[in-house]
Amino acid sequence: MGNNLLGRLTIWDYAIVAAYLVILFAIGYRASFSKKEKTEESLFLANKSLGWASIGFNMWGTNVGPSMLLAFASIGYSTGIVAVNFEWYAFVFLFLLATVFAPRYLAANVSTMPGFMGRQFGDSTQNILAWYALIKILISWLSLGLFSGGVLVRQILGIPMWQSVIVLVLFAGFFTFAGGLKAIAKVNVFQMLLLIGVSLTLTVIGVMKVGGLSQLWHSVPGNYWNLVHPASDPKYPWYAILLGYPVSAVAFFCTDQAMVQSVLGAKSLEQGQLGVNFIGWLKILSLPLFILTGILCYVLFPNLTSPDQAYMTMVTSLFPAGMKGLVIVVLIAVLVGTISSSLNALSTVFAMDVYARNINPNATEKDVVRVGRMTVLVGCAFAVLVALAIDSVKGLNLFDVFQAVLGFIAPPLAVVFLLTVFWRRTTQLAVNAILSWGSAFSLGVGVVYLWVLPPSPTQNTFWPHYLTLSFCIFAVLFVAAVLLSLLDKAGQERRVAVDYGVLAKPTARVKVLWGTLAAVMVVLYLIFNGH
């Protein structure tokens, strides 16, 4: 790829990038410094002032990393629309967040996920979960996000990996350091609108080049338009997605600090539930915005050396002068969105759950904010090192790396949160055992799978699909947690039943919008399976 894009930029492209940076800093500056007082609440939870649009765009912005642009186009190029499952199937778990988890989080009035669990099972659980959350944010959000961003910047500018990650981290760190969640949410709305505009333009130009939608429909193998692949499909068999995806989705959408933080900053429960509904609608756009790019590239440029080049090939070949600058802008945008949201989550968990509770219980609000900012700087440095380490692993498809890493981090979290909310008899002993020993087991299997005995067509063929493996780990841990709770009679009596008050029922507006979204999803699944 080399200097492919940089060599084709005109003065217009540079002007667009410069103008964008000015607008971005202006929005960030206004959100950060409009009110002088800086409290924990404003830095971490945006003064609980977020409406549904901010919440939806912000969660989507956190979710749509640069990896998604590259990886989805790459999978579209090689297998068609099957990866849309990872977006469309999500509405079930977003619904779970909106109707089951969010009302309890907001009623418990907590600012972090470890805080929520600590209210039920005490300090030891809160401490274990705080460290778990920190490791998870550092690895699965910051380092992987930074790595894929580095790959992109390297493709665009042709500079070494270490330089590109440092540039990115400084840029994203500035927003989190200065403005916290409110600045990030404001910037994310602007960036996501830009992303939709640019990606849609690319898709439209591509469809016109191919000769229209019906021409595109008939120009690729029939199974490209199938969401559900047969059990014999080695890459994405239907049962692996059906069973394995929910494990990651519950952990990701319902318990992940970086995703849930926007909902915790909601004006009201209704605004939070509408915001989560909105991200469900936004996820439908993944097909036209990201996956279709890859399918179009398959028709227009069938002989690429690697499917990972699909996105950049489309951009460099189809966009006129001036538009290429916009693409660079969008790529910076999705990166800053993901990295700054995860830095914010990292600083919230460390400052509130580790520092203010264990290291310095007498900390003033000023101290907590200061430590939150220090955490951002340390997190940046750590993420750079891990991103460079990931870069040394060869021969892995970007998207599968993300899904696999999440698939091994997720099972303990999914087990613990589901049991806590749905089963009154879960005990502290069970929760702590799953979070500590269960996590060691799950991550240990992951390390063996990814690095020690990686599966290949010729070797180590005993492994099931990584999503099925994730489900098996979840099932083992789930049974273990139930048995431990049943055997721990004293623990059942000790559990603090959190008084949520009367949990608010969803309003009529919330019910109608979720019902509509579910109906639309069913129709989409029926349309894309008739082949």
Q: Which of 80, 84, 138, 74 is nearest to 310 (CA)?
A: 74
DSSP bridge pairs for 50? 266
pTM for the full predicted model: 0.81
Residue positions counted in the chain: 531
User: What helix, strand, coil percent values describe the chain, rounded to 5?
Assistant: 80, 0, 20
pLDDT tens column, 343-386 = 777 887 788 778 877 787 787 778 877 887 788 788 888 888 87
From-to residues of CATH 1.20.1730.10 in the chain: 5-34+50-390
Q: What was the pLDDT predicted at 3?
A: 43
Tokens of 501: 């008050």
Q: What was the pLDDT predicted at 416?
A: 94
Amino acid at 136: K
pLDDT tens column, 164-209 = 778 777 777 666 665 555 566 666 677 778 778 888 898 999 999 9
* pLDDT, average across residues 296-306: 89
Range ranked top by mean pLDDT from 4-8, 132-136, 393-397: 132-136
Q: Which of 363, 358, 276, 316 is nearest to 93 (CA)?
A: 276
**Is 145 in contact with 70 (CB distance < 8 Å)?**
no
Measured in whole angstroms, the distance separating CA 337 from the mean position of its chain's CA atoms is 11
3-state class (DSSP) for residue 425: coil
Question: Minimum mean pLDDT among 131-145, 279-293, 366-380, 387-401: which range?
Answer: 387-401
What are phi and psi for residue 50, nearest 5 degrees?
-80, 135
* pLDDT, average across residues 275-283: 92
**Is 474 in contact with 415 (CB distance < 8 Å)?**
yes
pLDDT at 43 over 60: no
Measured in whole angstroms, the distance separating CA 324 from the mean position of its chain's CA atoms is 26
3-state class (DSSP) for residue 50: strand
Tokens of 272: 């939070």
Confidence of residue 47 (pLDDT cuts 50, 70, 90): low
Look at the alpha carbons of 453, 458, 464, 469 in this order and tell me if their dihedral is positive or negative. positive
Tokens of 431: 């929760």
Domain 5-34+50-390: homologous superfamily in CATH: Sodium/glucose cotransporter (1.20.1730.10)
pLDDT tens column, 384-418 = 887 777 776 555 566 677 778 888 889 999 999 99
Residue identified by tokens 């969660």 is 59
Measured in whole angstroms, the distance separating CA 320 from the mean position of its chain's CA atoms is 31
**Is 274 in contact with 36 (CB distance < 8 Å)?**
no
Confidence of residue 274 (pLDDT cuts 50, 70, 90): very high
The overall average pLDDT reported for the chain is 81
Q: How far apart are alpha carbons 456 and 464 in whole angstroms?
A: 11
**Is 521 in contact with 144 (CB distance < 8 Å)?**
no
pLDDT tens column, 80-100 = 898 899 899 999 999 999 999
pLDDT at 62 over 70: yes
